Structure 1
Amino acid sequence: MPSFLYPRTVAFHRPAGQTKGGRIGYGGQTQANETVVATGIPASIQERKEGIRKPTGLPSDGRQPEWWVFISRPKLANGTLKVGDVMIDDLGNRYQVLAPYWDSLGYRLTCALLEV
């Protein structure tokens, strides 16, 4: 249930690992090939000012926004989330978890918005 401190609701999915070898067709990352880790988690999503430098490194590229997501300790246990998990917010935006950090208050996730 969202609150004043955690006004958003998010879900976490874990993409399936590619187990086949050799030449295979592009499968893409979709919800169909993701395992649900947690749903209905209250969160606070905040944009970080610094952002991530785009990989092309051109001066005109600017920076890709980076997001901090705060989740209260009682809502998710330590070790539940991993690097590469996908977070879906209540507006349907998809983020990739870059760094799941756990402390005495709960999770502070560093995430990047997944663009189509």
Structure 2
Amino acid sequence: MSFLYPRRISISRPTPTAGYGAQPYGGLSPDNETEIASDLAAHIQIDKGSLAPQAKLAADAAYQTFWKIIIKAARGLVQRGDVIADDLGNRYQVISADWGPMVTTLRAQVLET
């Protein structure tokens, strides 16, 4: 653990399911994911909100909340749709992964469990 990267994360990739007819639940589930990296040092911070939620219900938040996750990782390690689990038990789905010469910056949304 370091001052710049005080958090620990693991990255997993959902396993695609294919088939016809009646299928079991097909959403994101830790049971249907393949871990591709673990125990990575990370910096997680809240990012600015974006569009208002689509449902437009009275109890909706004004904006969708996004999170910025900064890690040291090789280009292509993290892809859109990957799932990140942090040391506090939160799970995020990656929306974008921008590789730079020093760090990879991920933009993600919290997954409800």
Residues 52 and 85 of structure 1, relative CA distance in 2, 3 Å threshold: farther
Runs of 5+ in structure 1 lacking a partner? none
Structure with greater helix share of residues: 1
| Aligned-partner Cα distance in 2 for 1:57–1:99 | 25
Cα deviation, 1:35-57, whole Å, max 9, x if unaligned, reads: 00100000000001324531214
Taking structure 1 as the reference length, the TM-score comes to: 0.86
Work out whether residues 52 and 66 of structure 1, in 8 Å CA contact, stay in contact via their aligned partners in 2: no
Cα deviation, 1:45-103, whole Å, max 9, x if unaligned, reads: 0001324531214576211211001112xxx2110111100000001100000001101
Aligned twin of 1:108: 105
Work out whether residues 81 and 93 of structure 2, in 8 Å CA contact, stay in contact via their aligned partners in 1: yes
Residues 5 and 52 of structure 1, relative CA distance in 2, 3 Å threshold: farther
Between the two proteins, what is the percent identity of the paired residues?
38
| Aligned-partner Cα distance in 1 for 2:93–2:51 | 13
Structure with greater strand share of residues: 1
Paired residues for 1:23-62 under 5 Å: 23-58=22-57, 61=60, 62=62
Secondary structure of the structure 2 residue equivalent to 1:6: coil
Number of equivalenced pairs:
112
| Aligned-partner Cα distance in 1 for 2:108–2:20 | 29
Residues 35 and 52 of structure 1, relative CA distance in 2, 3 Å threshold: farther
Taking structure 2 as the reference length, the TM-score comes to: 0.88
Amino acid corresponding to residue 40 of structure 2 in structure 1 = I
Work out whether residues 15 and 35 of structure 1, in 8 Å CA contact, stay in contact via their aligned partners in 2: yes
Work out whether residues 17 and 26 of structure 2, in 8 Å CA contact, stay in contact via their aligned partners in 1: no
